[in-house]
Amino acid sequence: MEMDYQKIGLKVGLEIHQQLDTSAKLFCNCKPELFKEEPEITFLRRLRPTQSELGQIDPAAYFEFQKGVKILYEANRATSCLVEMDEEPPHPLNMEAVETTLTAALMIDAEPVDEIHVMRKTVIDGSNTTGFQRTCVIALNGEVKVGEKTVPIQHVSLEEDAARKTGGEGNIIRYRIDRLGIPLIEVATAPVIKSPKEAKEVALAIGRVLRATGKVRRGLGTIRQDINISIPNGALIEIKGVQELELLPLVVKYEVQRQLKLMKISEELRAREVKEEHIKEEFIDVTTVFKQTKCKVLRKAIDKKQQILAVKLPKFNGFLKQELMLSFRLGTEMSDRARFWGRVGGIFHTDELPAYGITKEEVEKLREALEVDDQDAVVFVADNPENAKDALKAVVERAREAIKGVPPETRAPKPDGTTRYMRPRPGAARMYPETDIPPIHITEDYIRKISSQLPEMPEQKLERLMKEHRLNQKLARQVLDSEYSELFESIMKQGKVSPTTVAAFLTETLKALKRDGVQVDKVSESQIREIFNEISAGELTKEAIPDVTVWLSSHENKNVREAIKSLGLKTISENELRAFVEKVIEDNRSLIRERGENSFGVFMGIIMKELRGKVDAALVSRVLREKLKEFVRV
């Protein structure tokens, strides 16, 4: 049964981040592209948090610093320069990106600022070589219409994208700085969204406006949604980087569910009269309890001369196994904290034992060692003493928070729509002025010039797609909402192909192939144009499009003609088709005697099985009907 989100009091605000399709990065002239080959340059850094002008340190920055990690940056000369490496001051702000951002802002009736001031936003997870992200507000107080509702837009900003994480070993994390500095537009709504479904609708509406500028990048990773979610008596939770629009309502639904469950756990803990001061940082070495253990994780730790430390959670028995959302428990929350703060692989707790090779007898010995009763829970960790202590400190802190309710924090989405702990919520000390870039004055003449050249709004484009290309409303809407709307119009200008065929391929076929595991992102727009050029020239049939697309997705740097040759899809002439149809009918005369013209479906199946991709199905149908009539008359 669906929750009554209105009754719950859900409030959601969205921050939509979309990469802009510019000729250069935001603060230099490097190509805004990603490279696949081995890096030409690498350098190692460790970032440290700094105090704000008021002497404060941002908690999120301090959290990342505490992990003690080093960052190995990877670069090549085409996509990165000394600006990305933080060895040279930023160049002037990219005015192409400013103009695109102002265009989008004016399309949603936002008010441009008089002066653009670039700010530094502290980021110390390693994704920025400087330890901060550069960002600037471009416009304020816009709005988008979603159905009958008007959603206020708080601000439209322009910022640089971060480096992309490529892996890591031990305490070293690897980042590629090719993505660092690619211009991003950010559109932030007021927290007026009241349901998961509405969250998706608002994101879709904003995405339509951004795509309508014709100046945004497309593909996975080019658009990301940050979601701010709160419910009464819960907490404001920020969920960073939801890439799939379809996942957005699920993320909101699970977060509401998680907060409600945490509030219920808090009530029950207080009913048991558990207080924060009851949960003490008293860590007991229980290595000897498990000296004969068959548990592989504990055995490995003991063999490496590591310690197994345990902590008592008074009156927490049964709570750690309570499910907060799909396959995610309070114990999972504690484990996430332990991993981040303690750099450990995870935790064990008595709510899930005996299991993992840990016996009932070992659990009883563990309880005896910590002098716990039936109402208490025990959490233990196997690692070196420093990491194990840090991990259990994080567990104790999370247990104390469980008594209070829902802790405010930043979380990251997982592919199933659930989320995991990412870091503490950032504080007010996070933002400060960028001293290397002077303010940019925005004149009224400049705004008037952009206003006079605004692209058509999404609803206008929808009407035009239906009228100009005779698409039905459903297909026209799918084209508009896809990342291929510009490509659709480009294909329609270059050749004589059915608009419905092109639209259905770009929306429904590509989506179906992706669901089947085909890497459609590896098929470029130029290759898709080439497919339809071959159809226009009569060298390829529309039935062959899926086969060619699948082939191209697994053959890098190959073209459509090579796909046609490899797949044996060379089209046959109408005369060749007629000869083939006659032969099939001749070989199956008994079928015609039995069913007459009703044998059409069977013959179509036989012929298309042999000729699929080599001839248009509509032509086969016409020729077959003619030939069947001739044979029936005979």
pLDDT digits (tens, 9 = 90+) for 132-184: 899 999 999 999 999 899 999 999 999 999 999 998 887 788 999 999 999 99
Percent of the chain with pLDDT over 70: 93
Q: Please state whether the peptide bond connecting residue 354 to the residue before it is cis, i.e. omega within 30 degrees of 0.
A: yes
Identify whether residues 212 and 66 lie together within a single domain.
Answer: yes
Contact 181, 27 (CB under 8 A): yes
Would you say residue 336 has pLDDT above 90? yes
Average pLDDT estimate for 307-320: 97
Least confident of 79-88, 119-128, 233-242, 406-415: 119-128
pLDDT of residue 623: 75
Q: How confident is the model at residue 600 (pLDDT cuts 50, 70, 90)?
A: confident
Contact 548, 564 (CB under 8 A): yes
Number of neighbours of residue 58 by Cβ within 10 angstroms: 25
What is the separation of C-alpha 361 from the centre of its chain, rounded to a whole number of angstroms? Answer: 45
Least confident of 285-299, 384-398, 541-555: 541-555
Average pLDDT estimate for 221-250: 94
Identify whether residues 303 and 396 lie together within a single domain.
Answer: yes
DSSP state of 634: -
Identify whether residues 150 and 101 lie together within a single domain.
Answer: yes
Look-up: residue for tokens 């890098």? Answer: 556
72 domain residue, yes or no:
yes
Q: How confident is the model at residue 53 (pLDDT cuts 50, 70, 90)?
A: low
Per DSSP, the three-state class of 185 is strand
Identify whether residues 183 and 90 lie together within a single domain.
Answer: yes
Identify whether residues 160 and 300 lie together within a single domain.
Answer: no
Question: Which of 515, 543, 567 is the last residue in one of the domains?
Answer: 567
Question: Which of 377, 406, 435 is the last residue in one of the domains?
Answer: 406
75 domain residue, yes or no:
yes
Identify whether residues 302 and 402 lie together within a single domain.
Answer: yes
420 domain residue, yes or no:
no
Average pLDDT estimate for 440-455: 96
pLDDT (tens digit per residue) in 381-399: 999 999 999 999 999 999 9
Average pLDDT estimate for 439-450: 96
Identify whether residues 89 and 225 lie together within a single domain.
Answer: yes
Residue 80 token pair: 């990165």
383 domain residue, yes or no:
yes
Contact 532, 495 (CB under 8 A): yes
Domain count of the fold of the chain: 4
Identify whether residues 49 and 137 lie together within a single domain.
Answer: yes
421 domain residue, yes or no:
no
pLDDT of residue 293: 95
What is the 3-state secondary structure of 195-255? CHHHHHHHHHHHHHHHHHCCCECCCCCCEEEEEEEECCCCCCEEEEEECCHHHHHHHHHHH
Question: Which of 567, 586, 604 is the last residue in one of the domains?
Answer: 567
Q: Averaging pLDDT over each range in 122-126, 127-131, 567-571, which range is the top one?
A: 127-131
Identify whether residues 578 and 625 lie together within a single domain.
Answer: yes
Q: Which one is predicted more confidently, 268 or 542?
A: 268
Identify whether residues 179 and 290 lie together within a single domain.
Answer: no
257 domain residue, yes or no:
no
Torsion angle, alpha carbons of 58, 60, 64, 65, to 10: 20
130 domain residue, yes or no:
yes
Name residue 424's beta-bridge partners: 409
Per DSSP, the three-state class of 186 is strand
184 domain residue, yes or no:
yes
Contact 403, 269 (CB under 8 A): yes
Write out the H or E segment, with its range, that includes residue 565. helix 560-567
pLDDT of residue 66: 64
DSSP state of 453: T
Identify whether residues 313 and 373 lie together within a single domain.
Answer: yes
Identify whether residues 105 and 224 lie together within a single domain.
Answer: yes
Angle, CA 605 vertex, CA 610 and CA 598 arms, to 5°: 140
C-alpha to C-alpha distances, 431 to 224, 409, 621, nearest whole angstrom: 21, 18, 67
Q: Which residues span the domain enclosing 499?
A: 458-567
pLDDT of residue 258: 97
Would you say residue 198 has pLDDT above 70? yes
pLDDT of residue 627: 73
Residue 456 token pair: 């058509």
CATH of the domain at 296: 3.30.1360.30
CA–CA dist 539, 564 (Å, integer): 9
C-alpha to C-alpha distances, 268 to 257, 273, 319, nearest whole angstrom: 17, 9, 9
The amino acid sitting at 539 is: E
pLDDT of residue 55: 64
